[in-house]
């Protein structure tokens, strides 16, 4: 039986952020949701929620994404201890949009691996 791989799924944007454990996924999802809730009533934010789920792609894709995703998480606005992160060009939604673009490369590579 294979080990479960975990991620944070950003619903509404279909972004998947690879993390090292279920606990990490739950923690990051809660932190992202708290940040989004505190960011105001932006209509885009209302459609965006983070949930901890099992990684839906291959183990190889998770391994490739894990390092990049960890570095991305460190730079995301929800990790900022000040309000400066939310005043950055678009805040968490811009961070997630950037990640979705990056994810497309991983997803395409994953499909090629499965073929």
Q: Note the pLDDT tens digit of each residue in 8-64.
A: 999 877 889 999 999 999 999 998 888 877 766 655 556 788 999 999 999 999 998
Residue 55 lies in a domain: yes
Please state, in angstroms and as integers, the Cα–Cα distance from residue 27 to each residue in 15, 32, 111, following that order: 17, 9, 29
**Tally of structural domains, the chain:** 1
Residue 76 lies in a domain: yes
- Domain residue limits at 107: 6-114
Helix, coil or strand: residue 49: strand
> What integer pLDDT is reported at residue 51 of this predicted model?
95
Residue 77 lies in a domain: yes
> What integer pLDDT is reported at residue 70 of this predicted model?
79
> What integer pLDDT is reported at residue 53 of this predicted model?
96
Residue 80 lies in a domain: yes
On whether the pTM is more than 0.85, the answer is no
Residue 21 lies in a domain: yes
Helix H or strand E encompassing 73: helix 59-75
CA distance 102 to 85: 20
Between residues 54 and 110, which one has the greater pLDDT? 54
Burial (CB count <10 Å: 0-12, 13-18, 19+), residue 9:
buried
User: b vs e for 80-89, b when ≥16 Cβ sit within 10 Å of the residue's Cβ?
Assistant: beeeebbeee
CA distance 46 to 26: 20
Residue 1 lies in a domain: no
In contact, 85 and 39? CB cutoff 8 Å? no
């Amino acid at each position: 039986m294979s080990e479960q791989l975990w991620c944070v799924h950003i619903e509404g944007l279909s972004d998947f952020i690879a993390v090292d454990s279920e606990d990490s996924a739950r923690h990051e999802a809660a932190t992202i949701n708290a940040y989004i809730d505190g960011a105001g009533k932006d209509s885009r934010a209302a459609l965006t929620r983070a949930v901890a789920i099992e990684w839906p792609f291959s183990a190889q894709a998770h391994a490739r994404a894990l390092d990049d995703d960890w570095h991305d998480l460190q730079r995301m606005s929800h990790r900022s201890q000040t309000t400066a992160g939310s005043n950055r060009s678009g805040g968490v939604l811009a961070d997630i949009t950037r990640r979705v673009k990056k994810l497309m490369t991983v997803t395409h590579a994953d499909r090629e691996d499965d073929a």
